[in-house]
Chain A
């Protein structure tokens, strides 16, 4: 066997092992949630998911929270980081440090500190679980910062901005038509990470007594293990579908290709 094909085999082995590592627990969950005590198969636990209004409410709340947090954290962080890149380069380290801080402080410590603040949030804005957005924006900062920072480093922001300005672009145009299209990947991965984080966050929601999906799954699990496992698997699938949908949004290059603007290279075109 040549070195090359041996490498191929090794690759497949590693891939298979990794796939097994991730898939076996999921399959076990599927098996467990569809098994009846007598050994047969039943979709009862899955049906119970939709029959349980608190669970449905929690799923909706979590999805809304995830979307809202992703939008909020990007709306907050992207303009800030652009400002730092273009005008305040000396503040770069400070902003980076501030954004990484939530990662360094354990969640439980943050919750203890944030609880009195949330008494006021509840007083002012009501008890909707959507108010968790404020806490989640802070939690998502380190991940969103990393993703956006990588994107900003991959393009020459200053030159692109100045080129666009000299061509007559106002600031909003620069942001929407020049920077956003070129930071699309970074913005999307910041959104991915935030969504994944919010859909799985338990500590804050539980200790601040909000009914999000993880909290509801935990509550259900105390009564009915089958439904709880079905809900866990469902939430994983929801997150997976969401992330897949985000990553499949067409980029500018793909859009151009679909419009038929990308003609074959002139080298292969017959002379006019």
Chain B
């Protein structure tokens, strides 16, 4: 699990190695006319990292704040380790939290920031210092212990904030878009780090993010939220490959909408017959097709005859390229393929379009 790093330091929070179970039951929160949480249910298994993913305003942060005790609930229960937290105020919930905004106390150095929670718990000075140093070591910032927030970069500040949240050996770790203020490179790096540390300490963790890549890369399970509810809660791969609703398919990754005809549990589209994900009634519908599941071949090449099309544009993304092709009926499809395979696909080139043999989600008029 920690193979990415030689000889990982002893986890600062070994005592919490067995995470607790977290259950959110029927959470409701209204802001005026807006229903931020609409009877939300979510259960986290002990030691698991669940990411709540969704567009802004879907209620994901409200759910996390309700768990932290920072948000009042109109209805519902928060149960952590079998204990109902309804009457437990935020400062006694024992949850480590990392915020989107930089939250280090400006008047304390990194070490004192990390030790702050321990100090409030009455841990003796020597022990406090030792544990704070351990936590800083865990995030790789032991050498910066005497720096103030103003002397640390954004990524370092968020690492210290993570160390501070972990130092109190919380029951639950809450990460509220902790990486969104950072630049792309630091974000990707810190993402890996969060995953490594979380696996190491084994604290049950809830991560809130609007970045699908982050959610898919880090989480054990991803909950895709929409309008105060969870649309699908599943392993990252399942959310991507087997979305249960059109919203999930479209929010997590890109999709092409291709008209199709469903008959006998299979969808006919682009001259191919694809199995249908879930259920679909016989009749017309729209298949949601990932760009990497669309195949391009030279026209007239052997095998299954594809549908003829013309390359409209092509953009280079590094290891992969994105090609837009126009079908004879004017519809266009986005195709993603390895750059090596996209060599001859200049705009105007004739191609044959096929479909990889994967189950597709079909949206039908009755779905709305």
Q: Name the interface residues of B126-174: CB closer than 8 Å to any CB of A.
A: 143-144, 146-148, 161, 164-165, 168, 174
Once A166-B70, A166-B91, A266-B144 are accepted as A-B contacts, the answer to whether A159 and B103 lie under 8 Å apart by CB is yes
Q: Are A173 and B96 in contact (CB under 8 A)?
A: no
The answer, yes or no, to whether B107 is at the interface (CB within 8 Å) is yes
Partner pick for B70 among A160, A162, A169, A182, CB 8 A cutoff: A162
The answer, yes or no, to whether A252 is at the interface (CB within 8 Å) is yes
The answer, yes or no, to whether B116 is at the interface (CB within 8 Å) is yes
Q: Are A261 and B105 in contact (CB under 8 A)?
A: no
Q: Name the interface residues of A131-163: CB closer than 8 Å to any CB of B.
A: 155-156, 159-160, 162-163
Q: Are A168 and B103 in contact (CB under 8 A)?
A: no
Q: Give complex CA distance A184, B107 in Å.
A: 10
Whole-angstrom distance from the CB of B278 to the nearest CB of chain A? Answer: 40
Q: Give complex CA distance A173, B122 in Å.
A: 13
Q: How many residues in B have their beta carbons less than 8 Å from beta carbons of A?
A: 34
Of B93, B96, B106, B121, most A-chain CB atoms within 10 Å:
B106
Q: Are A162 and B97 in contact (CB under 8 A)?
A: yes
Q: Name the interface residues of B51-99: CB closer than 8 Å to any CB of A.
A: 68-70, 90-97, 99
The answer, yes or no, to whether B251 is at the interface (CB within 8 Å) is no
Q: Are A166 and B97 in contact (CB under 8 A)?
A: yes
Q: Are B109 and A156 in contact (CB under 8 A)?
A: no
Q: Are A163 and B146 in contact (CB under 8 A)?
A: no
Contact with B along A248-265 (1 / 0, CB 8 A): 000111001000011101
Whole-angstrom distance from the CB of B132 to the nearest CB of chain A? Answer: 12
Once A165-B91, A168-B168 are accepted as A-B contacts, the answer to whether A261 and B121 lie under 8 Å apart by CB is no
Q: Are B148 and A156 in contact (CB under 8 A)?
A: no
Q: Which residues of A contact B68 (CB under 8 A)?
A: 162, 166
Q: Are A166 and B109 in contact (CB under 8 A)?
A: no
| Closest chain A residue to B95, Cβ basis | A166
Q: Are B146 and A263 in contact (CB under 8 A)?
A: yes
Contact with B along A158-184 (1 / 0, CB 8 A): 011011111111100100001001101
Q: Which residues of B contact A169 (CB under 8 A)?
A: 91, 120
Q: Give complex CA distance A160, B70 in Å.
A: 13
Q: Which residues of A contact B92 (CB under 8 A)?
A: 168
Q: Which residues of B contact A173 (CB under 8 A)?
A: 120
Q: Which residues of A contact B93 (CB under 8 A)?
A: 166
Q: Are A159 and B101 in contact (CB under 8 A)?
A: yes
Q: Give complex CA distance A262, B93 in Å.
A: 33
Q: Are A156 and B120 in contact (CB under 8 A)?
A: no
The answer, yes or no, to whether B228 is at the interface (CB within 8 Å) is no
Q: Give complex CA distance A59, B123 in Å.
A: 48
Q: Give complex CA distance A160, B102 in Å.
A: 9
Q: Which residues of A contact B101 (CB under 8 A)?
A: 156, 159
| Closest chain B residue to A252, Cβ basis | B107
The answer, yes or no, to whether B178 is at the interface (CB within 8 Å) is no
Q: Which residues of A contact B94 (CB under 8 A)?
A: 168
Q: Are A256 and B120 in contact (CB under 8 A)?
A: no
| Closest chain A residue to B101, Cβ basis | A159
Whole-angstrom distance from the CB of A60 to the nearest CB of chain B? Answer: 35
Once A165-B70, A168-B120 are accepted as A-B contacts, the answer to whether A182 and B103 lie under 8 Å apart by CB is no
Q: Give complex CA distance A155, B97 in Å.
A: 19
Whole-angstrom distance from the CB of B145 to the nearest CB of chain A? Answer: 8
Of A155, A168, A266, most B-chain CB atoms within 10 Å:
A168
The answer, yes or no, to whether B117 is at the interface (CB within 8 Å) is yes
Once A162-B70, A168-B92, A168-B120 are accepted as A-B contacts, the answer to whether A266 and B143 lie under 8 Å apart by CB is yes
- 29 inter-chain pairs at a CB distance below 8 angstroms, sorted by A residue, are A156-B101, A156-B102, A159-B99, A159-B103, A162-B68, A162-B99, A163-B97, A163-B103, A164-B116, A166-B90, A166-B93, A166-B95, A166-B174, A167-B116, A167-B117, A167-B168, A168-B92, A168-B120, A169-B120, A178-B105, A181-B105, A252-B107, A253-B148, A256-B109, A261-B109, A262-B146, A266-B143, A266-B144, A266-B146
The 10 closest A-B pairs by CB, nearest first: A167-B117, A163-B103, A166-B97, A181-B107, A252-B107, A266-B143, A168-B120, A165-B90, A159-B101, A159-B103
Residues of chain A at the chain B interface (Cβ within 8 Å): 155-156, 159-160, 162-170, 173, 178, 181-182, 184, 251-253, 256, 261-263, 265-266
Residues of chain B at the chain A interface (Cβ within 8 Å): 68-70, 90-97, 99, 101-103, 105-109, 116-117, 120-121, 143-144, 146-148, 161, 164-165, 168, 174
Given contacts A167-B117, A181-B107, A182-B107, 4 further A-B contacts (CB under 8 A): A164-B105, A166-B93, A178-B105, A265-B146
